[in-house]
Structure formats: C-alpha cells, structure tokens
Structure 1
Amino acid sequence: MTPRIPESPGLRDLGVANWLFCKIAARRQHVPRAHLFTTLGQHRRLMWAWLPFGGMLMRGGKFSSRDTELVILRVGHLRDSQYELQHHRRMARAVGLDDTTQARIFEGPDSAGLTDRQRALLTGVDELVSTRTLSDATWARLSEHLDRPRLIEFVMLTSQYDALAATLSALRVPLDFDE
C-alpha cells in the first residue's frame, strides 16, 4: 500500500525541532526512519501535543511495563496493526513477555497459562475495542486487580492504542522494520 502522507519528509516538511526529534527517535529504535513520527511530525503542533500523552501512557503511568505491553499487544492484534505489533513485540520481550506469553495474549483471555489478572486485562481490552465500553461484569473483574487510577489508565491506554492503530491504518504509515 502506498502511504497517504509522504514517508520521508525533509527539514522543510517537518521543521527543525520535529526533524531532529525524528532523527533521534529513529536512532533509538535502530531504524532508518521512524515513520510514525515522520508522518505525525508533518502536523508540527499536533505531534508535540500527542507525544507527552502517549509517552505517559506507555511508560509514565501507574501500570507496570508488562501490563502496558500486554494491553498494547492485544489492541495491535485485534486491530491487525502490524506497525504497533512490530515495535511492541520487541518492547514486550524486553520487559519479560516472551514469545510463548505473547502467543497466549494473541490467543485471548481463554488461553491456558495466563494469570487471572492477565485474563481480566485481555477481557477488558477485547470488550472495550469491540463495544467501545465495558460491561458491569468486566468492570467488576478489572476492579479486582486494578485500583481507581489504574482503571482510568486502562481505559485511556486501550483507547489510545486503538486510536493509534486507526491512525496508522488510515494514513498507511509504512513499517519501520523489514520483516
């Protein structure tokens, strides 16, 4: 598929700050270009408004890195977001979610070998992505494992990555890795 936004904009398209950020992001990710950022960076102010929000949800919130990556992997799987999966499978491995655990996440909440907490999170992700809300039963199940701030964060994290998957798909952002 052809990207809808030029995939390798220069300094003129991004501006100095966004161009520098994109270069640093690509270097940290070990890719020639960080296509998500070179795409969003073409809306200069929007990228800088989104970055702190997305970054806080990914690594600055109350969720553990393992729970965060579990949620992101499930959203990426449900939305068939290869961009999200390409990046977050690596990140998940780095925080201890090995390939076997990732396969269980992709299989879903009924997969053997998951903890009750993981099952509750996956059930919540599945329901929130498919219905855009949570039933009382799912909320109660999540509440057994999450306090109030984490319940709020769970909904925001799931919704953020669902929206990001839609953005990546609609804009046809190319993958960063050649796999």
Structure 2
Amino acid sequence: MTEIAPRIPYPPKSEWTDETREVFSFWGEPNSWEEGSKTNVITMMGNHPPLGKVFNIWGKHFLMANTLNTRQLEIVILRVSWRVNSAYEWHNHVGYAMNAGITLEEIAAIRDFPDGGSWTEEEAATMRACDDLIDDNVISDATWATLTKTLDKRQMMDLTFTIGHYVMTSWALASFGVPIEGGADAVGFDLKTSSGRIPGKTYKPGEHEEWVETRGY
C-alpha cells in the first residue's frame, strides 16, 4: 500500500464544539480539552463527533477491557498491522507489545509467521485466525478447534472482533491519509526507527503517569 497525502484535514480550532473536545479528551490526555489531542487518529475523528465518540468507546473496550490478556492482544494487533500494511498501528503497538514483555525477536517472528518464533499452540492459532479472516473472511474449523481448547466464548468473541476492529481502523487510517504523529521516532516494519535507536516500550493511555511522554509527540 502506498502512503497517501492526508485527505481529511484536522478540524480548525475555530470550529471546535464541546462535542469535538469530548472526542479529544476521552483518553485523558493532559490539556486536551483546551489544546486538542496529540494523537492524529483522535484529532481526525474530531471532524465527526458522533462517530468519534462511539469509536472511542468501542476502541477502548478492545485496547483496555479485552478478555484477551495483553500478550494475546498485542500479538493479534501486530499480526493484523503487518497483514494490512498499517504503518501507524505497527509503530504504536511495537512499544505496547514490548511493555507487555514481548521481545523484538518475537515481534519480528509475528511479522514473519509462520517462519521463526517459538509459539505455543494457542499463539500460533491466534495468528492463523488473523490470516484466516483477512484471507478467507472466516476463522477455519481447524483454527477454531485449536483456539477453543484454551479460550472461552467471550475470548473467542473478543478475538474475532479485535481482528475486525484493527482491520477497519487500519483501512480508515490509510484511506484518510492519517500519518504517524510528527515528532515520533517512527518504528518501521523492519523494526528500525527513524533515528536508528532500538525501539523501546510505550504505555497505553492512563497506564502510567508518563504515558504521553513515552510516545515522543
């Protein structure tokens, strides 16, 4: 996929309403009511507050209240990000995955699956579920049977919807032309950063008092 120029401009401050500011402030960024969000996808969603507000609520479930544990979740999101070529989601979730204890070597193996990596049966099946849905629009019987050995019905529901949510969000980011945040030390699919430093862990919203600062934008 070729990166495109932004197609939907960010809403000018002169047009912000209280609803717009609610979209910006949902995740608890400091000063976001007055100054707006520093997160590009949230700023873009401020163009359409009714959609932006439900997008935030929906997305928060998958990111913060998922019945999958954090390791399971980040394996799913990184696999989806690679499969649909979402540089934005990949950049952000490399840091989240590292914070969950997933190593750079494992992240490379998620990208390169089924080659490499030392995965449990469940973890391998989780990545196959991503591939099944992206390639065939359904989780195969074999993949489902493997996953249901260890995942309950709520986890299976969250897994399926999580894959769909991040595919949908990646489509929107790509189609709207939402770039990685200015000032961020972008992490590429090769796991090299723009500055050449080794990627480090980052925090999800509210996970740490310095969660904004760790993102570098």
Q: Secondary structure at the match of 2:17?
A: helix
Q: Does 1:87 align with 2:89?
A: no
Q: Tell me which of the two structures has the higher relative contact order, counting C-alpha pairs closer than 8 angstroms and 6 or more residues apart.
A: 1
Q: Does 1:147 align with 2:152?
A: yes
- TM-score normalised per structure 1: 0.89
Partner of 2:116: 111
Tell me the distance in 1 between the aligned counterparts of 2:41 and 2:15. Answer: 14
Partner of 1:15: 17
Give the letter aligned to residue 147 of structure 1: D
The count of residues paired between Structure 1 and Structure 2 equals 175
Does the 8 Å contact 1:11/1:19 carry over to 2? Answer: no
Tell me the distance in 2 between the aligned counterparts of 1:78 and 1:51. Answer: 24
Q: Does 1:3 align with 2:31?
A: no
Identity %: 26
Higher helix share goes to which structure?
Answer: 1
**1:59-111: CA deviation from partner (whole Å, max 9, x where unpaired):** 20211011111100000000110000111111111111121110111111343
Does the 8 Å contact 1:40/1:46 carry over to 2? Answer: yes
Residue 15 of structure 1: how far off its partner (Å)? 2.2
Q: Does 1:160 align with 2:165?
A: yes
Q: Which runs of 5 or more structure 1 residues have no equivalent in the other structure?
A: none
CA RMSD across the alignment: 2.0
Moved over 4 A (4+): 23-28
Does the 8 Å contact 1:71/1:122 carry over to 2? Answer: yes
Structure 2 counterpart of 1:44, from 40, 49, 56: 49
Tell me the distance in 1 between the aligned counterparts of 2:110 and 2:155. Answer: 20
13-22 vs 120-129, which moves further: 13-22
109-118 vs 151-160, which moves further: 109-118
Matches within 5 A, 1:46-65: 46-65=51-70
Does the 8 Å contact 2:81/2:87 carry over to 1? Answer: yes
- TM-score normalised per structure 2: 0.74
Residue 25 of structure 1: how far off its partner (Å)? 6.0
Q: 1:178 to 1:136 in 2, by over 3 A?
A: same
Give the letter aligned to residue 146 of structure 1: L
